[in-house]
């Protein structure tokens, strides 16, 4: 177990190093950030001066080495745009994105898994067909459009939910979050729902497939033969059995949600890292872009590792090394 963790951490480190190199090179190759940072009316002298000041006049490999060197001391560089440390900019905004991703995943699970399971248990019924169509829509309709529609319906027409922004935060157990306040929940509901649609569609399909397959298995028949209630069969036997594959997906989805909440954050002006990265990309703010990619890369790695560990916890067969009877 320890060995597995060490090995995985080493692999992760290599991945992150390659990622930093790719990100660095790609941003360098795109264009010259100076013209986006400085007012157009600056003369070429002023532009050269800024270039030198930001170290952009050095050749790329030199810049990259400086970058790595600073990385060792925890310095991800300073934003070309605001001058603030890139790491701090990202860490400031990360809690908001984590909140959003977490609530979105919650909604996706709480709504998607039961829907999918019931659809799978009633395969071929009208309910099943409706749910299947709905899940396809969740994949294919652009999240940007759905976000605007949600705002139009709930904020403009009905006026019950705010159209943008994050709610008030409160601190509990040393963690400041808008989830501790009622106002926070009012604000997070629409964007989290918007973000939840894609993973929800995924979970519905998985739960449906898992349920319709698992319900034919012998142990379900045996449970029925014992006279166990249908409710318990679904929520204990079936759910626990298919949760393994669901958890794997959920783990991956968490990383994806954090990384790609960009569209939702943009539509709802949610002050998270998604909006930060878009602005950084528009102004070629390389330190912020690279720092973002590295941090999100880390989050992915952590999410995947935790998923693997959860897998072990949930599937007792893996825990004791597979059992003594061949399957």
Site for other proteins in 6-45 (CB under 8 A): 30-33, 35-45
Q: Which stretch binds other proteins (CB under 8 A): 107-115, 201-209, 216-224, 292-300?
A: 216-224
Q: What are the φ/ψ torsions at residue 170 (nearest 5 degrees)? A: -140, 160
Q: Under DSSP, is residue 58 helix (H, G, I), strand (E, B) or coil?
A: coil
Q: How many positions of this chain bind other proteins (CB under 8 A)?
A: 89
∠ CA 260-266-267, nearest 5°, is 115
Which token pair is 179? 């989830």
Q: Is 73 in the site for other proteins (CB under 8 A)?
A: no
**Quick one: tokens of 72?**
């060792």
Is residue 205 a contact point for other proteins (CB under 8 A)? no
Min separation Cβ 171 and other proteins, Å: 15
Quick one: which of 126, 69, 86 has its CA closest to 291? 86
- Report the nearest approach of other proteins to the CB of residue 262 (Å): 11
Binders in 265-304 for other proteins, by CB under 8 A: 266-269, 271-272, 275-276, 279, 281-284
Helix (H) or strand (E) holding 305: helix 286-314
Positive or negative, the Cα torsion across 188, 193, 199, 203? Answer: positive
* Near other proteins by CB under 8 A: residue from 237, 262, 297, 301: 237
| Both structure tokens of 25 | 């090179």
Q: Does 54 bind other proteins (CB under 8 A)?
A: yes
Please state, in angstroms and rounded to a whole number, the distance separating the CA atoms of residues 247 and 244.
Answer: 5
50, 118, 234, 249: residue in contact with other proteins (rule CB under 8 A): 50
Please classify residue 250 by burial: count the beta carbons closer than 10 Å to its beta carbon, then call 0-12 exposed, 13-18 middle and 19+ buried: buried
According to the binding rule CB under 8 A, does residue 70 interact with other proteins? no
Pick one of 217, 235, 306, 312: the residue that binds other proteins (CB under 8 A).
217
DSSP type of residue 85? B
Give the nearer residue to other proteins in terms of CB position, either 202 or 238. 238
Contact pick of 24, 93, 296, 297 for other proteins (by CB under 8 A): 93
> Interface with other proteins includes 75 (CB under 8 A)?
no
Minimum distance, C-beta of residue 56 to other proteins, in the bound complex (Å): 12
Residue 78 C-beta: closest distance to other proteins, Å: 7
Out of 183, 245, 248, 256, which residue is the one contacting other proteins (CB under 8 A)? 183
**Residue linked to tokens 């560089």:** 77
Shortest Cβ 173–other proteins spacing (Å): 22
Cα separation, 140 vs 57, in Å, equals 45
- Tell me how far, at minimum, the Cβ of 198 lies from other proteins, in Å: 19
Q: Which is nearer to other proteins, 238 or 301 (CB)?
A: 238
Site for other proteins in 111-170 (CB under 8 A): 148, 151-152, 155-156, 159-166
Give the ranges where the chain is alpha helix by DSSP (H): 2-30, 34-37, 44-53, 60-72, 86-121, 126-140, 143-150, 182-214, 218-225, 230-232, 239-259, 262-267, 273-282, 286-314, 316-319
């Amino acid at each position: 177990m320890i060995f597995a963790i060490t090995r995985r951490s080493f692999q992760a480190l290599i991945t992150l190093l390659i990622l930093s190199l790719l990100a660095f090179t790609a941003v360098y190759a795109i264009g010259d950030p100076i013209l986006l940072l400085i007012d157009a009316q600056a003369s070429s002298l002023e532009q050269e001066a800024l270039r030198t000041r930001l170290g952009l006049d050095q050749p790329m490999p030199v810049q990259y080495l400086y970058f790595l060197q600073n990385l060792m001391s925890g310095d991800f560089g300073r934003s070309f745009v605001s001058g603030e440390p890139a790491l701090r900019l990202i860490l400031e905004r990360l809690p908001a994105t984590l909140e959003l991703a977490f609530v979105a995943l919650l909604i996706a699970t709480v709504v998607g898994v039961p829907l999918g399971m019931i659809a799978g248990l009633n395969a071929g019924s009208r309910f099943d067909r409706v749910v299947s169509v709905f899940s396809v829509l969740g994949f294919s309709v652009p999240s940007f459009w759905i976000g605007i529609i949600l705002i139009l319906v709930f904020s403009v027409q009905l006026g019950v939910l705010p159209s943008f922004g994050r709610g008030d935060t409160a601190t509990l157990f040393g963690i400041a979050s808008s989830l501790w306040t009622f106002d926070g929940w009012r604000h997070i509901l629409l964007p989290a729902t918007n973000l939840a649609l894609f993973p929800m569609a995924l979970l519905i399909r998985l739960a449906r497939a898992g349920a319709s397959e698992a319900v034919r298995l012998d142990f379900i028949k045996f449970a029925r033969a014992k006279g166990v209630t249908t409710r318990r069969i679904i929520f204990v036997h079936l759910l626990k059995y298919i949760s393994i594959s669901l958890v794997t997906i959920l783990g991956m989805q968490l990383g994806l949600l954090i990384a790609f909440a960009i569209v939702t954050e943009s539509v709802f002006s949610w002050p998270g890292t998604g909006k930060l990265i878009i602005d950084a990309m528009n102004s070629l703010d390389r330190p912020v872009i690279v720092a973002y990619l590295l941090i999100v890369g880390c989050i992915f790695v952590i999410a995947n590792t935790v998923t693997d560990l959860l897998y072990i916890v949930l599937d007792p067969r893996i825990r004791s090394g597979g059992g003594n009877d061949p399957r």
